[in-house]
């Protein structure tokens, strides 16, 4: 496990980052960039922020990629708002499907296969085989309903019993891994799993995590190694490292911003400080 993880997490929670800047808004842009870039979006981090801030498409970039970013961001905002609901800690399969539906709202499509069709924009549970990028296949579709039921039951129990920050983050990381491994949807499984991880962190009022787009290869390797070794510690360690990387970077930028403000008294709260 990452020896810095708990210390940095607590330091970040005690920091003045929200007093200096609307970090939640900035994080929503950062998260949208990295999660969609992993899935092929060509919008840069700056493109993503400009597009989401102004809703003006970036010239030369596909509308499909704008739709990916917009849908992801809207799903994130939905989860942020819903996390304040009195029933927010009771997760259901329908709720997971709603996340996927929002993620795929404008980029879903009709998939025709030998036994019928599925609309990947409606959050439908898949009823066909899905090949993994690393080779082989995810679990057969007939096993998905039972796997999802067990997943939800176990996750709700874990959420109800969590006490420490480490436990809470580990529940989020494990939920991320388990959902993407079940791969219940025709598309958008990765984005849905990463958003579910964030949602659980929102419930616990813990700092949120991302998977860096530049670490995609390491991310895939961690998923594969975890499955092969049947050892969730592999993925938890990967996510601890990603979480620590993000918080260290943002704390350093916060310190830089505070130093600059003292020097020029500009109180500049521009997004550039957090990118």
CATH number, domain of 23, equals 1.10.3290.10
Using 50, 70 and 90 to split pLDDT, how confident is the model at 64? very high
Higher pLDDT, 111 or 125: 125
Higher pLDDT, 75 or 23: 75
Look at residue 112 in the predicted model and tell me its pLDDT: 78
Considering the entire predicted model, what is its pTM?
0.92
Q: Determine the average pLDDT of the residues in 22-35.
A: 94
Is-contact 133 220, C-beta < 8 A? yes
Query: Which region, left, alpha or beta, applies to residue 119 given φ > 0 means left and ψ of -120 to 50 means alpha?
Result: beta
**Cα-based torsion angle of the residue sequence 31, 110, 66, 100 in order, rounded to the nearest 10 degrees:** -20
Residue 80 lies in a domain: yes
Look at residue 147 in the predicted model and tell me its pLDDT: 98
Residue 237 lies in a domain: yes
Look at residue 259 in the predicted model and tell me its pLDDT: 59
Residue 152 lies in a domain: yes
Using 50, 70 and 90 to split pLDDT, how confident is the model at 113? confident
Q: Which residues pair with 111 in a beta bridge?
A: 118
Q: Which residues pair with 112 in a beta bridge?
A: 117
Print the domain residue range for 59: 18-264
| Cα atoms in the 13 Å half-sphere on the side-chain side of 27 | 22
Residue 8 lies in a domain: no
Q: Determine the average pLDDT of the residues in 31-58.
A: 97
Look at residue 261 in the predicted model and tell me its pLDDT: 55
Number of separate domains in the chain: 1
Contacts of 161 (CB under 8 A, 6+ apart): none
């Amino acid at each position: 496990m990452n020896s810095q993880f708990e210390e940095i997490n607590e330091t970040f929670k005690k920091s003045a980052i929200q007093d200096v800047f609307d970090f939640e808004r900035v994080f929503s842009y950062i998260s949208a960039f990295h999660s969609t870039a992993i899935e092929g979006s060509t919008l840069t981090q700056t493109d993503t922020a400009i597009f989401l801030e102004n809703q003006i498409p970036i010239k030369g970039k596909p509308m499909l990629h704008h739709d990916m970013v917009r849908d992801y961001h809207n799903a994130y905002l939905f989860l942020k708002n819903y996390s304040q609901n009195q029933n927010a800690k009771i997760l259901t399969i329908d709720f997971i499907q709603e996340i996927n539906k929002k993620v795929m709202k404008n980029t879903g499509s009709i998939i025709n296969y030998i036994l019928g069709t599925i609309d990947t924009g409606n959050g439908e549970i898949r009823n066909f085989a899905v090949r993994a990028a690393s080779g082989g296949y995810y679990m057969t579709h007939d096993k998905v309903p039972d796997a999802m039921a067990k997943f939800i039951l176990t996750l709700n129990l874990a959420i109800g019993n969590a006490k420490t920050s480490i436990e809470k983050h580990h529940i989020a990381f494990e939920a991320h891994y388990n959902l993407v491994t079940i791969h219940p949807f025709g598309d958008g499984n990765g984005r849905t799993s990463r958003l579910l991880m964030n949602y659980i962190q929102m419930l616990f009022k813990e700092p949120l995590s991302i998977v860096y787009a530049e670490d995609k290869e390491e991310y895939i390797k961690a998923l594969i190694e975890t499955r092969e070794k049947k050892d969730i510690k592999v993925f938890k360690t990967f996510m601890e490292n990603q979480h620590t990387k993000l918080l260290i970077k943002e704390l350093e930028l916060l310190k830089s911003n505070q130093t600059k403000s003292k020097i020029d008294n500009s109180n500049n709260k521009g997004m550039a400080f957090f990118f």
